[in-house]
Chains A and B, each alone.
Chain A
């Protein structure tokens, strides 16, 4: 009986290993610099993506624009962010980045969730009175982390429930054993 209990617990322990890292935990930061003052026409572009790693259905791009000559922050520009799948199925998506979505008021950001996993091309286009600038980079999109997070929260309840069920099973077995005697 004790060995069976131990086996059940060991199996549950194995199931507890999250299949992929959940980057929202402490210390991971969740953000990654992809372009660092990249020269693009009359601008210097800094692009930061989140979360880390970005996942199917969850991808943000933040952009800071500097005037390449004066290094002043450009706050009046039209910024478009586009994602295109590379060599696989997926729906291209283009959105205007704005200040409201960005964590920093001088920057621009947009939520551009890819609908499939794999390699995507992220393109940034900036238009303002100073001119037009473009830059792009490749981004690998991972699958949704539906298992690790659910297990982390669901496992405690599942463990408790299994424990209760185990005791009921033991109770039934002990009753059957006493009846057969």
Chain B
């Protein structure tokens, strides 16, 4: 059976079942992928660097990253259940809410989706496959990002309502729930649906991997044109193909790419590169799929950055009190739910819809899919500003408390009778950089992201054979939304923090 696959504009389309089952997949790749030129024009390929490249391409190369993270995950679960129920003194909360969040954000700038590369939650997948529970395809109606958006809303709401950040026990339960859910979904479905459609961490990581300097690319498009086996997606004898069913010659972004490098390991022609690329091209130039769920996920994540920080400053408590007294909403869960549904989803979705509507009417344009087209056109420009806001928040916690893991681990070993790392933990170890540097760095991150977002909006508004002023009219509502988001973020980060967490369950 022969199937023809024409090069599309984006890799977000799943390879259809018939293509995967075909004996031969012939391709016409219409244009080179981002950052790649014909005849080995990759500027810098991480997979062909001395020792690191060999390590990454080895059959069990990914395990070398997954095993340390698995051990850390087990530590989080163990210490969360059995250790002191004091967040600053327990490795569960310190590793999850200080180190993971801070390092994953920095990882995007340096490499890309580094956490998904070493994700320990996918290890149950291998076990699930070995149990030979024949998985079906993920339902077609659920092949979008709505569940991921819902998962993000749920996580952020639970985080604030249950004060998960203050509870090692709840942090451990969350990690365990992730493991169980990943196992269950991987056991019953193919196509890594947990990663691609469900995991909130994955949704966050896929979105902000858009600004990473590396991307999976082909070393030579000609090799892919003549390749008959398509092992990068179908797998080889020893190596599975892409878990999220991305076809390497069609990859133009990091969306849905877990950086697992199975494609590189499976390719019999060593034609897959982890190549350097411009970090802003994906948000400024790439044509994204016209899907509401994808566009809104990107836009909502930027606002979630603002709301996550808002949850830790005094005005949120004033708002909660007003909802309690003024609207007689006595349940904290309901009050927080209302705040986060509004701030994380309804307001950003409404603003996006409004900006698209205004832009369409000001320019009297009629894109084929109407508002969905316009939203997809400008949504990627929210990635840099969203990244800046998350960097300011997560970077703050890492800067303030990054070194606290040292006394925490000292204490952990002392609890078990080992004084290898000192008999007296130094609890004064906390900040990574001088405190006076933090606020200026936060402002720089937010403003830097804002300016790159403006650049991205401008690039997307300028089209050949269209007057620049028409582009301005179409784009300006979006620029105003981004500006308001930035001003609110600067205001929130300028407020003093006030975290009113409570300890639950056994303290």
The answer on direct contact between A and B (beta carbons under 8 Å) is yes
Q: How far is the CB of A66 from chain B (nearest CB, A)?
A: 26
Given A5-B459, A157-B483, A28–B435 Cβ distance below 8 Å? yes
Partner of A25, one of B439, B457, B469: B439
Q: 14 additional contacts, CB 8 Å, given A26-B496, A163-B454?
A: A9-B455, A16-B444, A21-B436, A22-B439, A25-B438, A27-B400, A27-B439, A148-B440, A148-B443, A155-B447, A157-B483, A160-B454, A167-B458, A167-B469
A179 adjacent to chain B (CB < 8 Å): no
Chain B, Cβ-Cβ closest to A173: B468
Contact B490 A152 (CB under 8 A): yes
Q: How far is the CB of B195 from chain A (nearest CB, A)?
A: 34
> Within residues 472 to 501 of chain B, which ones have a CB less than 8 A from any CB in chain A?
472, 476, 479-480, 483, 486-487, 490, 493-497
Q: Tell me which of B437, B443, B486, B497 has the highest count of chain A C-beta atoms within 10 A of its own C-beta.
A: B443
On chain A, the number of residues with a Cβ less than 8 Å from chain B's Cβ atoms is: 37
In the complex, what residues of B have CB within 8 A of residue A170's CB? 462, 468
On chain B, the number of residues with a Cβ less than 8 Å from chain A's Cβ atoms is: 41
In the complex, what residues of A have CB within 8 A of residue B343's CB? none
Q: How far is the CB of A181 from chain B (nearest CB, A)?
A: 14
B432 adjacent to chain A (CB < 8 Å): no
Given A1-B462, A16-B443, A167-B469, A159–B454 Cβ distance below 8 Å? yes
B452 adjacent to chain A (CB < 8 Å): yes
Partner of A160, one of B442, B448, B479, B496: B479
A168 adjacent to chain B (CB < 8 Å): yes
In the complex, what residues of B have CB within 8 A of residue A102's CB? none
> Within residues 35 to 65 of chain B, which ones have a CB less than 8 A from any CB in chain A?
none
Given A9-B455, A12-B451, A167-B469, A21–B439 Cβ distance below 8 Å? yes
Contact A27 B451 (CB under 8 A): no
18 A-B pairs with CB atoms under 8 Å apart are A9-B454, A16-B444, A16-B451, A17-B440, A17-B444, A18-B444, A20-B440, A22-B439, A25-B438, A26-B439, A26-B494, A152-B490, A156-B450, A159-B451, A163-B479, A167-B468, A167-B469, A168-B468
Complex Cα–Cα for A21 and B435 (A): 10
Contact A21 B462 (CB under 8 A): no
> Within residues 133 to 155 of chain B, which ones have a CB less than 8 A from any CB in chain A?
none
Contact A25 B468 (CB under 8 A): no
Complex Cα–Cα for A152 and B435 (A): 19
Q: How far is the CB of B469 from chain A (nearest CB, A)?
A: 5
Given A5-B459, A25-B438, A28-B435, A152–B447 Cβ distance below 8 Å? yes
Complex Cα–Cα for A12 and B435 (A): 25
A91 adjacent to chain B (CB < 8 Å): no
B396 adjacent to chain A (CB < 8 Å): yes
Complex Cα–Cα for A166 and B443 (A): 25
Q: How far is the CB of A52 from chain B (nearest CB, A)?
A: 8
A174 adjacent to chain B (CB < 8 Å): yes
Contact A27 B396 (CB under 8 A): yes
B428 adjacent to chain A (CB < 8 Å): no
Chain B, Cβ-Cβ closest to A172: B468
Complex Cα–Cα for A40 and B447 (A): 49
In the complex, what residues of A have CB within 8 A of residue B471's CB? 167
Complex Cα–Cα for A164 and B486 (A): 18
Given A22-B440, A160-B483, A163-B479, A27–B454 Cβ distance below 8 Å? no
Complex Cα–Cα for A24 and B436 (A): 10
B369 adjacent to chain A (CB < 8 Å): no
